[in-house]
Amino acid sequence: MIFVQVAGPLLMLLQEICSDQIHYAGIIKREMRMDIAFNVTRRCNKGCDYCYLDLTGEDLPYSDIRRIMNEVEVDTVTLTGGEPLKHPRFANILLLISGLGHHIHLLTNGILLKGKNLEMIVAAKPELFVTYNCPDQKIRQQLADAHKCGLDVNVNHVLTHQTLSMLGKACEDISFAKSILLLYPTNMEKNNVRMYGPEEWLPLLGRAIDIVSQFDIKTYFEQAFTERNSELARSPPCPTGKDIFIDVDGSSYPCCLLVDSIGGYKGARPIKYNVKRCDFLRRNQMPPESRYVRICPISVTDLYDKHFIFPSHIGEK
């Protein structure tokens, strides 16, 4: 295996996950439940290269969110973007969803997580998922303040060779975090993100897991590849068809990766998509001589029960 140069018991588990030794292939662990994610805005105050979506400036109308929430029965509601806090009626959105008693996941870059915004968010008691790729004392303090106010803070970290060098310090900064999700850098045809091949990504991921293991933070990661002859390759995980994903146009999409490459579907419903038709996977196939094949980059797994889970279920363990 390619991991022999990287030490650590956690890495041995990662080695098993990427081989055929653990037979959980393609199983997505979940209860009999449905969640919903709203991409509430295409506006952002940052504009990261690795963002899946084009920042075209539209907002999902509050009236659409209210109508959809009255039509569906869901558990967790995820609010994402863009930067959700840039939505002009974000306070109303939070009040609506928290008033209905739903658990809320708020994905944010953390820049606006202060002052009256923080007071508003604390009142709704969402779980925070904040991008933190490198040490930033201003953002770190705002996350610490949110944590002191009783909010669960989870961290999303886009893993690269550059961010790996700062990962230990970043973990020190957010040692109070409930979990960290190590993200694979995904290029969505913008040609501004370098995607690693498996021989580079898997050892990089292993080193990152070794670093995070020194802290009391639960670790999740995007595996991105599996061995060509493994059970996982024969039955690849796909997050579509289980939960609802609504973009700013009010339409349903299979997942966040496909919003800008396929048309939406009317009505709030989960959209099943054949993994063999996935535009991202078809465009980025590994050569036939490679030992590995690519799997959905947003399929999240862990080192605890070694099942794939939905991002909306992170933090439940």
**pLDDT tens, residue order, the chain (317 aa):** 233 333 444 555 555 545 433 222 233 444 556 799 999 998 988 877 777 777 788 999 999 999 999 999 998 999 998 899 999 999 999 999 999 999 999 999 999 999 999 999 999 999 999 999 999 999 999 999 999 999 999 999 999 999 999 999 999 999 999 999 999 998 776 667 889 999 999 999 999 999 999 999 999 999 999 999 998 898 888 888 888 999 999 999 998 888 888 888 988 999 988 888 888 898 899 999 999 999 998 888 876 666 666 565 665 54
Strand, helix or coil for residue 28: strand
Whether residue 184 is contained in a domain is answered as yes
User: Within a 10 A sphere around the Cβ of 175, how many other Cβ atoms?
Assistant: 11
3-state secondary structure of 265: strand
- What's the rounded Cα separation, in Å, for the pair 293 and 227? 6
* 226-262 b/e (C-beta count within 10 Å ≥ 16 → b): bbeebbbbeebbbbbebbbbbbbbbbbbbbbbbbeee
Residue 261 belongs to a domain = no
Structure tokens at 189: 């045809």
Cβ distance 282 to 275 under 8 Å? Answer: no
Q: Which of 111, 112, 166 is nearest to 135 (CA)?
A: 166
Task: Find the CATH number of the domain harbouring 103.
Answer: 3.20.20.70
**Complete edge-to-edge strand list for the sheet that includes strand 179-183:** 252-253, 244-246, 36-39, 76-80, 103-108, 127-131, 153-158, 179-183, 218-222, 300-302
- Cβ neighbours, 10 Å, residue 75: 15
Number of residues in the chain: 317
Q: Answer whether residue 165 is part of any domain.
A: yes
CA distance linking residue 298 with residue 82, whole number of Å: 17
In eight-state DSSP terms, residue 261 is: T
Does a structural domain hold residue 112?
yes
Residue 34's identity, in one-letter code, is M
Domain that holds residue 203: 2-242+271-309
pTM of the model: 0.87
Domain assignment present for residue 152? The answer is yes
Is 299 domain-assigned?
yes
Question: Counting beta carbons within 10 angstroms of the beta carbon of residue 130, is it exposed (0 to 12), middle (13 to 18) or buried (19 or more)?
Answer: buried
The dihedral over CA atoms of 306, 177, 104, 107, expressed in degrees to the nearest 10, equals -90
Residue 247 counted as domain residue: no
Number of domains in the chain: 1
Answer whether residue 249 is part of any domain. no
